Structure 1
């Protein structure tokens, strides 16, 4: 207590401030407000620049080709466009596009020699075909990060990963696109995905398919899928890639063939009024006998089938079991309809497979690879996806489960 009997007086408490202080007492608050405003402005400008950079077209060439021997087997060189009319846009490509808007009114776009291609109603397919729909930096990075996370998680469990992008028909037969597209063909999302992912085990089938197409049909004019012969060519390419990546392992089995046979025309575009046209669907003439395969379909029904028969997408999720398979390995395969033509080789190579549709055309229920691996314990994980799905990059927050 003080001598006055009141409470102790804290220095300055309750005493009036000097007049000179009253003028400046708000300066610290003003300075703080100014600094906060400057920080917010810097943050906004920085974020704007980051967003602007992320929205730019992704590069189409990688500065790091990785292991040359693996790159040569898994990503053979492919002819690049003479220019990039969409990425280095001067407006000419879009002007040509608009000038031919009448050709783009239907769900299917007609090309040369009876060829047809899905229009943009299907995952911006035709815009992807010419390079008009490219990947942004953010989209290319999203695909890379998604698969890099998967690769890292599987590697920790000792599981091999292969990413196999089945090219669109327009990427193998660009010369069959409409004449009006001449001069406006640029790089595609696949080129950008490859450029953004030199560290990922991706197989690029385009070079092998283009080379094979010079002698035999690997796609037909009226179907968006590769033929059974195209699937065989792709399997050969994958085998070469695999053997290059894993030189210490036994080479993957590639069945011997005596030639190529034509069957009939499978016109996928008939509902849109596109007439049938040749060449016909091609299949390999095998010189080897395939082991029978037990296929359990989505209804839980198991049937033993000829090993040459494909496992159709409509049967997925499906499991296969093969006595006398070429290896004792098992494979978890996330795939789409392009996997039909590859499925006979999966069934002969792996003792067991579990084939599941990935639905990269719809991310509402993305696959949880970690949960699937914990359920099946595979030796190998294969992700086979159609090229056109690349326009649907995973959104922020979507992961493969790792």
Structure 2
């Protein structure tokens, strides 16, 4: 009876207990969040949970297999709660034809649009731990692993700008671990191996990327207790060995540039973490004045020191492929920064998310094609052929009207600025009936492209902001018409 009562008594003495109870009375749904605060301030609870997790781990299992799965030699892998990670590891989650088409359309369309501006693009799928250490997966997975999504993409007839880092990362295991037992990310050594291959690939895309700085290293060193990623997830406080390259010399210092232009010089070993994004860095000692736009996730943390050492300037932005409603508007980023290269760095498990911007890139390329073929760019209210009416802040009706009756492909470019991400509803007329479609806009600056083929007939489209709480201001609106074949 005492054993049953002690934990409850210990919790009552937590400094967070009384405030939590008061909050729960008013907002019962807050219990899940407040419980963690009580647990963190109750040592007995923490110790009991950690002891229980360690006991289960010793038996080869965890208290939540959706979060963590124990493999061979004690290695732990993320479960299906994280982008169906284990289902992807086993090849049970793969793309159908619709998903493959959407991925090809988004990445291939973006590559085409960037190429028109002489900007190379490279999409780095940072391998999942199970891609490099399949021998550490659970014993029961032996002989049950099917085709992975990344292999589907690599074998696609449309040659996407992908790089396969798996062979190099597997080969480097003979020198040092490129991943670790209790973390899902590549180690600093693994990121260094990855950067070597990325720099080689960039050199094949354009000669100006020849001789990008790769810090020389003589083997690897190990930090025996880097910390377990799974301590916060399942209260498993195991020491995690972390391998780092043994660099011949320190990385060059660089500056973190704030929005107001001020700069703070920091050591070259400084990581740019996921929570630091967006971040602009500048390295005056870089061999070439090259600017890289890096759209990335947490796999870019360990990679960031090498990027910051190689490029004169990096603009690092979270890609949010795992939450595409918050993804940045890439055309606007290109217009603002005019980078020499666009790099995506995405952890492999995010392939569970199907990319959804093929329409944007198709429309953007239609706009470019029409202009290259000599189509006139009609700017709203600067040309009699194109006019607007209504509120530029979209707090009321806003309409775009054109005078010509050409039957060719009509593509509209809309510049707007938004205080948060949201959805723009576009309405037109087809066969005498209203038709609607939607376009996502991002927080900040946006360049949106709309191809009005079968969606709209007539001489007008209207725009409506679906979230009135978001402040939107429309800028330049233009349209081109590509002659019908």
TM-score (norm 1): 0.70
In the TM superposition, residue 258 of structure 1 has moved relative to its aligned partner by 2.1
Return closer, same or farther for 1:103/1:339 CA change in 2, 3 Å cut-off.
same
Q: Contact (CA 8 Å) 2:121, 2:341: kept in 1 or not? A: yes
2:118 to 141, 158, 175: 158
Segment drifting more, 373-382 vs 261-270:
261-270
Q: In the TM superposition, what are the counterparts of 1:149-228 in structure 2 within 5 Å?
A: 149-196=109-156, 198-228=158-188
**Structure 1: which 4+ aligned runs deviate by more than 3 Å?**
101-106, 244-249, 296-302, 395-402
Q: Distance in 2 between matches of 1:297 and 1:335?
A: 19
Segments of structure 1 that go 5 or more residues without pairing to the other structure are 1-100
1:302 to 1:102, Cα distance in 2 relative to 1, 3 A? closer
Paired residue for 1:108? Answer: 68
**Residues 211 and 252 (structure 1), Cα distance of their counterparts in 2 relative to 1, 3 Å cut:** same
Alpha-carbon contact 2:71-2:139 (below 8 Å) kept: yes
Q: Secondary structure at the match of 2:227?
A: coil
Quote the offset at 1:302 in angstroms. Answer: 4.4
Q: Which residue of 2 aligns with 1:390?
A: 351
- 2:256 corresponds in structure 1 to 295
CA distance in 1, matches of 2:357, 2:277: 28
> Which has the larger Rg?
1
Alignment deviations for residues 192-228 of structure 1 (CA, whole Å, 9 cap, x no partner): 1111265222111111000111331010010000000
The structure where strand makes up a greater share of residues is 2
Secondary structure of 2:87's counterpart equals helix
Call closer, same or farther: CA 1:242–1:116 in 2, change over 3 Å.
same
Instruction: Verify the 8 A CA contact 1:218 1:229 in the aligned structure 2.
Output: yes
Cα 1:323–1:176 change in 2 (3 A) is same
Matched residue, 1:274: 236
- One of 115, 122, 134 as aligned partner of 2:82: 122
Aligned residues: 302
Which one of the candidate residues 331, 337, 342 is aligned to 2:292?
331
Judge conservation of contact 2:104–2:158 (CA < 8 Å) in 1: no
1:317 equivalent in structure 2: 278
Distance 1:299 1:196, change over 3 A: farther
- C-alpha distance in 1 between matches for 2:260 and 2:202: 33
- Answer whether contact 1:320 1:353 (CA < 8 A) is retained: yes
Write the mapping of 1:1-400 to structure 2, written as runs, cut at 5 A: 105-196=65-156, 198-246=158-206, 250-263=210-223, 264-271=225-232, 272-277=234-239, 280-296=241-257, 302-395=263-356, 399=360
**Distance change in 2, residues 1:191/1:225 (3 Å):** same
Change (3 A) 1:104 1:317: same
CA, structure 1 residues 214+258, in 2 after alignment: closer, same or farther (shift >3 Å)?
Answer: closer
Q: 1 CA distance for matches of 2:261 and 2:208?
A: 38
Measure, in 2, the Cα distance between the counterparts of 1:377 and 1:247.
18
* Structure with more relative contact order (C-alpha pairs < 8 Å, separation 6 or more): 1
Measured in 2, the distance between the counterparts of 1:259 and 1:103 equals: 37
Change (3 A) 1:197 1:225: farther
Residue 11 of structure 1 corresponds to none
Check conservation: 1:168, 1:225, Cα contact below 8 A.
yes
2:210 aligned counterpart, secondary structure: coil
User: For residues 320 and 125 of structure 2, what CA distance do their matches in structure 1 show?
Assistant: 14
User: Residue 180 of structure 2 aligns to a residue in which SS?
Assistant: coil
Structure 2 partner of 1:29: none
Aligned mates of 1:213, 1:373 — CA distance in 2: 37
Q: Greater shift after overlay, 287-296 or 164-173? A: 287-296
Work out the CA distance in 2 between the residues paired with 1:232 and 1:301: 30
Q: Deviations over 1:297-324 (max 9, x none)?
A: 6899843211122111111001001111
Over aligned residue pairs, what C-alpha RMSD do you find?
2.4
Distance 1:311 1:298 in 2: 16
Between the aligned partners of 1:221 and 1:301, the Cα distance in structure 2 is 40
Structure 2 gap ranges (5+): 1-60, 365-485
How far off is 1:248 after superposition? 7.2
CA contact (8 A) 1:114 1:277 kept: no
Secondary structure in 2 matching 1:355 = strand
Q: Give distance in 1, aligned partners of 2:237 and 2:107.
A: 40
